[in-house]
């Protein structure tokens, strides 16, 4: 994660961030003058974080990528909804989390090739319809010993999914589970393809995590939209992750870093931790962007590492 040569890594980090673009010029001119002064070093990460976050916000503002983003379908919650009242036992919950399913019978074919994603406002989106068998395979991910859930059939219906454009009604496969009166629902459409970002990501090997680190995903947007919860990573020789926010008119840019990094022999294992970030105003339809990657932060079903889109 880090080495004992603090000065070298700090200098590489500053140089890497300075070459991202002209917007990072502030505070970069005297990178070689780092004399190891602790107070000067303590302000360096904050200066660089702000410069990079502003670059990301400016790059997306008014871009073709932002226009395509606002027209797409990007779920911000799980695309699987459990039967009403949830799963009935701990064994069933373990089976679901592990992806242990059995199929008894034959699944139907999709009645047509495409489906429509509908919002209360704005144009609907026509997108390819996922076959029931493919949707089932996203559930049945494992074949390990242990409890299992049995699917006895499926029919095409609908479900409501929270997206970056607000709640949407989407086609869904309604799977009948043995022993349950209501179905397990799985969205029958895939997220839109992410547009090419208008700014390049930073090189992870050139930037230490106490300056800037990539986020692991977004797990929750508060009901009032005034705070968001993300997964930030940290290692074995630090005090945990921190996340700073830059709010712009069209985006919310999050800058993650690691606090209290220590020199020494540290394992390379990275750990995820949820961090809640308060906003000055509701996130609304603004994009939530990662300052490190320069990309929208995907929804993640933490502690599972799978992301709904990327």
Domain limits, the chain: 6-68+196-290, 75-187
Strand pairing of 241-247 and 251-258?
Answer: antiparallel
What is the C-alpha separation between 33 and 50, in angstroms, rounded? Answer: 21
Report pLDDT for 269. Answer: 62
Tens digit of each residue's pLDDT (9 = 90 or more) over 1-13: 333 333 333 333 3
Tens place of pLDDT per residue across the chain (310 aa): 333 333 333 333 333 333 333 333 333 333 333 333 333 334 445 546 689 999 999 999 999 999 999 999 999 989 999 999 999 999 999 999 999 999 998 999 999 999 999 999 889 999 999 999 999 999 999 888 899 999 999 999 999 999 999 999 999 999 999 999 999 999 999 999 999 999 999 987 778 777 888 998 999 989 899 999 999 876 556 667 889 999 999 999 999 988 766 666 665 566 778 999 999 999 988 999 999 999 999 998 776 655 556 5
**Left if phi > 0, otherwise alpha if psi is -120 to 50, otherwise beta: which for 253?**
beta
Name the DSSP letter for residue 199.
S
What is the C-alpha separation between 194 and 68, in angstroms, rounded? Answer: 8
- Tell which residue, 283, 251, 284, 296, has the closest CA to residue 61: 251
- Residues 13, 211 contacting (CB under 8 angstroms): yes
Place of tokens 């069933």: 92
Report pLDDT for 11. Answer: 30
Report pLDDT for 300. Answer: 87
Give me the torsion for CA of 297, 299, 304, 306, rounded to 10°: -80
Which positions ≥6 away from 86 have C-beta within 8 Å? none
C-alpha distance across the termini of the chain, in Å: 25
What is the C-alpha separation between 58 and 65, in angstroms, rounded? Answer: 12
Residue 113: Cβ within 10 Å count:
8
Report pLDDT for 144. Answer: 84
What is the C-alpha separation between 143 and 134, in angstroms, rounded? Answer: 16
> Which helix (H) or strand (E) segment is 215 a member of?
strand 215-221
- Residues 284, 272 contacting (CB under 8 angstroms): no
> Which helix (H) or strand (E) segment is 91 a member of?
helix 90-98
């Amino acid at each position: 994660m880090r080495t004992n040569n603090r000065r070298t890594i700090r200098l590489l980090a500053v140089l890497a961030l300075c070459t991202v673009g002209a917007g990072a010029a502030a505070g970069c001119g005297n990178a070689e003058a780092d004399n190891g002064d602790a107070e000067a070093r303590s302000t360096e990460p904050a200066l660089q974080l702000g410069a990079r976050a502003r670059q990301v916000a400016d790059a997306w503002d008014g871009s073709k990528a932002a226009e395509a983003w606002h027209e797409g379908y990007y779920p911000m919650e799980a695309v699987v909804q459990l039967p009403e009242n949830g799963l009935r036992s701990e064994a069933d919950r373990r089976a679901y989390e592990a992806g242990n399913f059995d199929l008894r019978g034959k699944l139907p074919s999709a009645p047509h090739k495409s489906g429509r994603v509908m919002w209360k406002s704005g144009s609907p989106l026509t997108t390819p319809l996922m076959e029931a068998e493919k949707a089932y395979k996203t559930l049945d991910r494992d074949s390990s010993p242990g409890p299992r859930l049995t699917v006895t059939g499926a029919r095409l219906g609908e479900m409501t999914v929270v997206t970056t454009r607000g709640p949407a009604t989407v086609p869904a496969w309604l799977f009948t589970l043995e022993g349950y009166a209501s179905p397990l629902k799985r969205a029958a459409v895939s997220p839109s393809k992410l547009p090419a970002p208008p700014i390049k990501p930073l090189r992870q090997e050139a930037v230490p995590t106490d300056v800037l680190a990539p986020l692991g995903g977004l797990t929750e947007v508060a009901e009032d939209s005034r705070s968001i919860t993300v997964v930030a990573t940290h290692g074995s020789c630090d005090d945990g992750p921190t996340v700073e926010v830059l709010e712009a008119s069209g985006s919310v840019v999050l800058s993650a870093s690691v606090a209290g990094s220590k020199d020494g022999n540290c394992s390379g294992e990275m750990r995820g931790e949820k961090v809640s970030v308060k906003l000055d105003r509701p996130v609304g339809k603004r994009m939530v962007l990662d300052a490190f990657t320069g990309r929208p932060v995907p929804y993640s079903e933490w502690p599972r590492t799978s992301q709904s889109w990327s």
